[in-house]
């Protein structure tokens, strides 16, 4: 009684002679279907009134279900929006909440099929959730184009099986929203909190689990190298928090909430990496030109005052010459939309370590327009120097690509 999934069969190439016998048979079949549907609705309403839900019991049941690692691992998903990672309840958690809530039916159905202006088929689909106890109904009608995107562009779907699979994937996402709109929000929040507790306490980074996770990503077209590039470490060095984060990304990809390109950079072939004009080569060349004083064994600043030593200060420009003035770009603003920093950054404020990296680049030869290093920035720089080499490399790459993209120099 909890799941209703009604689909209308396609009408193309299925013309039948409209004989009186066929018309009479179809009319009788339609009437029988209507009577059966009406009876099911009446029974659902009667049972809902006879056995009303207990919200406290429903909440406790859902929280108890979320204490199982099996549900907690698939209960949430993540997707990127405006450079921010958004986390929400998945269709699996919505289904568990529907069962715990009780007297709630949901599903989807295909209403009609047609062809779009470009000749590609499309379906009109309705997803819904009906609360038999409160007699409220959430429904959304939308159009699904019979098209599958690929790296090369895409192609129209012709096989009925492929079309049904596409409709089901799209409809389940909309059905999830209808279910969540029919259930108290605090109940979902309590379930998400319990899922986080369950994953934190029960997830372990065993070799078997890591291998299984890599295999699951491979099925979605994400390679081991792409995973390692995102987390800035080898997969055999993954810790439990990273497993939780990657699991949410996997759920998002599997449910169609995001694409692999939203999380993982495309792998660069060996030939492309060797080209002089490639991005990797440009970053390496820029880093070679910068060569901070700290890499040469010299301090880039005075630890006590925060000043750059006199021998490190750039020479002033001769009078009478016109210097090229580039716009001053705050480093924190340059980071908007860039990829997340690897590892745990909760202890470092964005503006804090951004200012520290501005200070580090102050010692570079091309930073001649910057003011002297402030004392507090020196302390933050010392804190950053305790990070792992992978995080240092990440910061330098982001800094170089930000300057190249924005065409400016860091602000003082």
What does the domain layout of the chain look like in residue ranges? 39-191, 351-411
Q: Give the separation between CA 246 and CA 84, rounded to whole angstroms.
A: 16
What is the per-residue pLDDT across 214-245, written as a single tens digit (0 to 9) for each? Answer: 999 999 989 999 999 888 888 888 888 888 88
Q: Which residue has the higher pLDDT, 396 or 380?
A: 396
Residues in the chain: 412
Residues ≥6 apart with Cβ < 8 Å to 302: 308, 309, 378
Percentage helix, strand, coil for the chain under 3-state DSSP, each rounded to 5: 50, 15, 35
Q: Using a cut of 0.85, tell me whether the model's pTM lies above it.
A: no
Q: How confident is the model at residue 12 (pLDDT cuts 50, 70, 90)?
A: very low
* pLDDT tens digits, 120-176: 999 999 999 999 999 999 999 999 999 998 877 889 999 999 999 999 999 999 999
pLDDT more than 70, % of the chain: 58
DSSP 266: P
Q: How confident is the model at residue 279 (pLDDT cuts 50, 70, 90)?
A: low
Q: Which residue has the higher pLDDT, 46 or 278?
A: 46
Residue 389: predicted pLDDT: 57
What is the distance between the alpha carbons of residues 122 and 138, in angstroms, rounded to a whole number?
23
What's the rounded mean pLDDT across residues 206-212?
A: 91
How many angstroms separate the Cα of 331 from the Cα of each of 43, 226, 394, 410?
64, 26, 14, 6
Q: What region does 63 belong to: left with phi over 0, alpha with psi -120 to 50, or beta? A: alpha
Average pLDDT, the chain: 73
**Residue 179 · residue 188 · CB < 8 Å:** no
Least confident of 8-12, 62-66, 101-105: 8-12
Residue 283 above 70 pLDDT? no
The confidence score (pLDDT) of residue 355 equals: 53
Longest dimension (CA), the chain: 103
Q: CA nearest 379: which of 305, 329, 292?
A: 305
Q: Is the pLDDT of residue 412 over 90?
A: no
For residue 27 the two structure tokens come to 């009319």
User: Inter-axis angle of helices 389-406 and 350-362, to 10 degrees?
Assistant: 80
pLDDT band for 6, please (50, 70, 90 cuts): very low
13, pLDDT greater than 70: no
- Measure the CA dihedral 384/390/391/394, to 10°: 130
State the average pLDDT over residues 393-398. 63
Q: Which of 410, 221, 230 is nearest to 332 (CA)?
A: 410
């Amino acid at each position: 009684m909890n799941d209703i999934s009604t689909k209308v069969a396609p009408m193309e190439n299925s013309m039948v002679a409209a004989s009186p016998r066929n018309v009479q048979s179809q009319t009788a079949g339609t009437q029988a279907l209507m009577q059966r549907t009406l009876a099911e609705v009446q029974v659902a309403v009667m049972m809902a009134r006879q056995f009303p839900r207990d919200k406290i019991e429903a909440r406790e049941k859902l929280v108890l279900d979320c204490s199982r690692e099996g549900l907690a691992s698939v209960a949430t998903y993540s997707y990127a929006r405006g450079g921010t990672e958004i986390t929400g309840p998945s269709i699996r958690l919505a289904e568990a909440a529907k069962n715990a809530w009780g007297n709630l039916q949901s599903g989807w159905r295909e209403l009609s099929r047609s062809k779009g202006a470009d000749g590609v088929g499309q379906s009109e689909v309705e997803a819904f959730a009906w609360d038999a106890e409160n007699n409220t109904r959430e429904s959304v009608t939308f159009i699904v184009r019979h098209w599958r995107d690929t790296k090369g562009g895409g192609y129209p779907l012709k096989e009925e099986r492929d079309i049904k699979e596409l409709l089901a994937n799209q409809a389940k996402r909309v059905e999830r929203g209808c279910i969540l709109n029919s259930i108290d929000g605090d109940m979902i929040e309590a379930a998400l909190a319990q899922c986080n507790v369950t994953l934190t306490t029960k997830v372990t980074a065993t070799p078997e689990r890591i291998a299984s996770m890599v295999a699951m990503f491979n099925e979605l077209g994400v390679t081991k190298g792409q995973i390692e590039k995102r987390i800035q470490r080898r997969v055999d060095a993954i810790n439990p928090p990273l497993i939780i984060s990657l699991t949410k990304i996997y759920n998002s990809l599997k449910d169609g909430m995001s694409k692999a390109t939203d999380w993982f950079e495309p792998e660069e072939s060996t030939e492309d990496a060797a080209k002089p004009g490639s991005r990797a080569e440009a970053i390496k060349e820029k880093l070679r030109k910068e060569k901070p004083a700290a890499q040469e064994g010299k301090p880039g600043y005075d630890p006590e005052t925060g000043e750059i030593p006199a021998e490190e200060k750039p020479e002033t420009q001769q009078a009478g010459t016109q210097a090229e003035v580039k716009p001053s770009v705050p480093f924190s603003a340059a980071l908007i939309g860039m990829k997340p920093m690897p590892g745990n950054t909760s202890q470092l404020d964005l503006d804090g370590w951004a200012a520290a990296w501005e200070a580090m680049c102050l010692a570079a030869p091309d930073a001649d327009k910057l003011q002297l290093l402030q004392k507090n920035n020196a302390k933050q720089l010392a804190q950053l120097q305790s990070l792992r080499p992978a995080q240092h490399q990440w910061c330098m790459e982001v800094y170089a690509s930000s300057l190249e993209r924005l065409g400016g120099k860091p602000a003082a």
